[in-house]
Chain A
Amino acid sequence: MHSQLRVLRVLVEDNPGVMARVSGLIRRRGFNIQTITVGPSTEPGRSRMTLTVDAGHAEVDQVAKQLDRLIEVIEVEDITDAPTVSRELLIAKLDKVPPAVEQYGARLLAAGIVELTADSETVEDFIEFLKPFGIKELARTGPVAMRRSA
């Protein structure tokens, strides 16, 4: 079966309750949120979300179409199959900081805490690399993404 995962860029009105509307709709339609990031956009009063959503038993284009029905959703762009750049941030507190974290593009953020900004696959690899050194705590943002310039 082909992947039901969709990556969506969504521009929303920055109103109270918008997150609840988006997540409520995704639950009700039988989809499942894998990652969600949200922050201010360049337009005042509007926020930018990046969502990774499993369409579940629905047709994959339903995720974007259903989101688009929400009044406070201004724009939905399904970038799953588009050429994009995607980055997420990881910070991890370790028992022991490994010697060569720089080879992953990571850096020491504070004593015993490393930071990495990379695509999700690299972040996964990095976590595997860290495991033998004892991960005490770990936090990931989930990806933010945009289309490459044409």
Chain B
Amino acid sequence: MTGADMVLEALEREGVEIIFGYPGGANLPIYQRLPAHPKLRHILVRHEQGAAHMADGYARATGRPGIVFATSGPGALNLVTGLCTAFMDSVPMIAITGQVPTAVVGRDAFQESDVIGCTQSVTKHSYLVTKVADIPRVISEAFHIAATGRPGPVLIDICRDVQQAEGGEFEYSYCSVLPGYKPALEPDPVQVERAAEMLAGARRPVILAGHGVILSHAEQELLEVAERSGTPVGTTLLGVGAFPVQHPLALHMTGFMGTGWNIKAVQNADLLMMVGMRVDDRVTAKLSEWAPKAESFVHIDIDASEMGKNVRPHLEVVADAKRALKAMASQVKPPPADRGEWLTQIDAWREEHPLKYSRSNGHLQPQDVLIDMYRRCKDDAIVVADVGQNQIWAALWWNYTKPGLFINSGGSGTMGFAFPAALGAKFGRPDKDVWCVAGEGGFVMTAQELSVAVEHQVPVKIVLLNNFSLGMVRQFQDDFYGGVRSEVDLTVMPDFVKLAEAYGLKARRVDKYEEIKPAFDEAQATPGPFLIDFRIDPEANVYPIVPLGKGLDDFWELPNGA
């Protein structure tokens, strides 16, 4: 069997059903053999970055690794942003790139680049394959590494001559053990007991839940721990959905664009239990002013290097979030008699600092658009947000009781992520409605993938929140950089309805509140992809927000009556 067939055969053995890719000179042998493997569906993207985000969206929506093919040099380098996006958010992905033939590696051959070197810091691991016999082992290891422990992208760079070489009989064994890779899954029972005790001993505890809770499907265990111990729960941006936002104990989103009542709770908590999260700067704002009243931090994460990376916990539980919370659920004690005071206080903050927006200037408000969209989602559709104001609005107005259905680029903050990721999500979950929420700035960064949506009639509904500017940057300039609006104007953009029509999908424009409903009705009644160009208030801002460099206590919000 040739190397190319080995690659494709190995993917079949791993249960791969779809590949997002782009052919070129250095992966020709694989593409030559692809039609002989009809079980593997291939989606020809229009730019390799689109392939990486589609694979990412597919992986987040299904929990299975997303697969990407690209050729050497520019093809592989176009994946870098997508790999980084997946790496920062712990998303399983396998990128298989063609490399120039072994004989010319290092000679600056045509379309040669040091893909391993260029991607080292944005992959969980990577392989350069120069021997055909290594292919089955490398691919099985890659799947094991990408999908277990803290998931992440793995890149396999295969020289073209190796793809063509005859490798003898194909033998495949699934990798489950590697000498230098032993993810910690089971929690230490002593630490779990201690964590439960600390939770019981706290007067003003808060649990914060991150992406790790969603990745390990620990939401039920989280709910049990929270309810049994009477502990309020907030989530990170990537943790949105890990805890039902309508729950009486819900604090909704934390961090420097989190809800006011969440911020108040974090800043007054005497114990913070962080689960499956990195405690990054978007969560803490100014670190030295974060959670100033906390006497103890408990950190649960599968990655030991997260312990003390940003915040030094008093108790470390290095384990899978689901297993740790499950073990804890049976040990937590009912809340002390005075817990009502803490919860009443949080309710008061919720009343004092509600999410709000203003319609007073007559413009279309993004929140009105999203509230109508979420009403139609019925707690079941996948919502993929891009990066910027649209992302935070989509997170703050989230109303689900179920987890795992909100997808966005949290760590990397990659503009242009949402649309291809939404396509990938829909390819992976055809049973789900998929909505793509994006600003016009991010959307045009990967809008070429509209062709993929049309070619495969992928019924993703695009909710374009078009404010004619780089809204988040404009807001930062207005609020924190002296009001100097510098290079944020996007009034010269394509007519998005015509752009959509040029690509071959239906679209419509919405300028007024009254037009929201009929536009969504039409989008939902249309079988294929649909774009709605919502021309929203160009001055609409995200609130609450903490000024850059300040502590959470300094959060700004829309004044009452604004």
**A-side interface residues toward B, CB under 8 Å?**
12-13, 16-17, 20-21, 24-25, 28, 58-59, 61-62, 65-66, 68-75
Output the least CB separation between A33 and chain B (Å). Answer: 16
Partner of B180, one of A16, A25, A70: A70
Output the least CB separation between A59 and chain B (Å). Answer: 5
Q: Are A24 and B120 in contact (CB under 8 A)?
A: yes
Known: A21-B120, A24-B120. A71 touches B305 (CB 8 A): no
Closest to B120 in A: A24
Output the least CB separation between B317 and chain A (Å). Answer: 15
Contacts of B116 in A (CB 8 A): 17
Partner of B128, one of A13, A16, A28, A75: A16
CA distance A12 to B180 in the complex (A): 8
Contacts of B179 in A (CB 8 A): 13, 74
Output the least CB separation between B162 and chain A (Å). Answer: 15
**B-side interface residues toward A, CB under 8 Å?**
116-117, 120-121, 124-125, 128, 145, 178-181, 303-305, 307-309, 312
Known: A17-B116, A21-B120. A73 touches B308 (CB 8 A): no
Contacts of A25 in B (CB 8 A): 121
Partner of B305, one of A20, A24, A28, A66: A66
Q: Are A73 and B180 in contact (CB under 8 A)?
A: yes
Known: A62-B309, A66-B305. A17 touches B128 (CB 8 A): yes
Q: Are B117 and A20 in contact (CB under 8 A)?
A: yes
CA distance A4 to B304 in the complex (A): 20
CA distance A72 to B180 in the complex (A): 6
Q: Which 6 A/B pairs are nearest by Cβ-Cβ distance?
A: A65-B305, A74-B180, A71-B125, A28-B121, A71-B181, A59-B308
Output the least CB separation between A12 and chain B (Å). Answer: 8
Q: Are B120 and A20 in contact (CB under 8 A)?
A: yes
Contacts of B181 in A (CB 8 A): 71
Contacts of A20 in B (CB 8 A): 117, 120
Partner of A69, one of B120, B305, B307: B305
8 of the cross-chain contacts (CB-CB < 8 Å) are A25-B121, A59-B312, A62-B309, A65-B304, A66-B305, A71-B124, A71-B181, A75-B180
Q: Do most interface residues of chain B lie in helix, strand or loop, or is the interface mixed?
A: mixed
Contacts of A65 in B (CB 8 A): 304-305, 307, 309
Known: A16-B128, A17-B116, A17-B128. A69 touches B303 (CB 8 A): yes
Output the least CB separation between B400 and chain A (Å). Answer: 33
Q: Are B121 and A24 in contact (CB under 8 A)?
A: yes
Closest to B180 in A: A74
CA distance A133 to B305 in the complex (A): 49
CA distance A68 to B178 in the complex (A): 13
Output the least CB separation between A112 and chain B (Å). Answer: 39
CA distance A71 to B116 in the complex (A): 14
Known pairs A20-B120, A24-B120, A59-B312 / 7 extra A-B pairs, C-beta < 8 Å: A17-B128, A62-B308, A68-B305, A69-B305, A70-B125, A71-B178, A74-B180
CA distance A62 to B310 in the complex (A): 10
CA distance A25 to B305 in the complex (A): 13
CA distance A25 to B123 in the complex (A): 12
CA distance A25 to B120 in the complex (A): 9
Contacts of B180 in A (CB 8 A): 12-13, 70-75
Closest to A46 in B: B179
Output the least CB separation between A38 and chain B (Å). Answer: 16
Q: Are B305 and A62 in contact (CB under 8 A)?
A: yes
CA distance A49 to B124 in the complex (A): 21
CA distance A69 to B149 in the complex (A): 11
Output the least CB separation between B94 and chain A (Å). Answer: 14
CA distance A71 to B178 in the complex (A): 8
CA distance A74 to B312 in the complex (A): 25
Output the least CB separation between B60 and chain A (Å). Answer: 22
Output the least CB separation between A89 and chain B (Å). Answer: 29
CA distance A75 to B179 in the complex (A): 9
Q: Are A71 and B145 in contact (CB under 8 A)?
A: yes
Contacts of A16 in B (CB 8 A): 128
Contacts of B178 in A (CB 8 A): 71
Contacts of B305 in A (CB 8 A): 62, 65-66, 68-69
Closest to A76 in B: B180
Known: A20-B120, A28-B121. A68 touches B128 (CB 8 A): no
CA distance A74 to B178 in the complex (A): 9
CA distance A17 to B305 in the complex (A): 23
For A12, A58, A71, A73, the residue with the greatest tally of chain B CB atoms inside 10 Å of its CB is A71
CA distance A69 to B128 in the complex (A): 19
Output the least CB separation between A119 and chain B (Å). Answer: 30
CA distance A126 to B467 in the complex (A): 70
Contacts of A74 in B (CB 8 A): 179-180
CA distance A24 to B181 in the complex (A): 19
CA distance A17 to B119 in the complex (A): 13
CA distance A70 to B305 in the complex (A): 11
For A17, A24, A25, A28, the residue with the greatest tally of chain B CB atoms inside 10 Å of its CB is A17
Partner of B309, one of A59, A70, A73, A75: A59
Contacts of A21 in B (CB 8 A): 120
Closest to B144 in A: A71
Closest to A66 in B: B305
CA distance A28 to B125 in the complex (A): 15
Q: Are B125 and A61 in contact (CB under 8 A)?
A: no
Contacts of B304 in A (CB 8 A): 65, 68
Output the least CB separation between A68 and chain B (Å). Answer: 7
CA distance A68 to B303 in the complex (A): 10
Output the least CB separation between A118 and chain B (Å). Answer: 33
Contacts of B128 in A (CB 8 A): 16-17
Output the least CB separation between B336 and chain A (Å). Answer: 34
Contacts of A17 in B (CB 8 A): 116, 128
CA distance A62 to B312 in the complex (A): 11
Contacts of A69 in B (CB 8 A): 303, 305
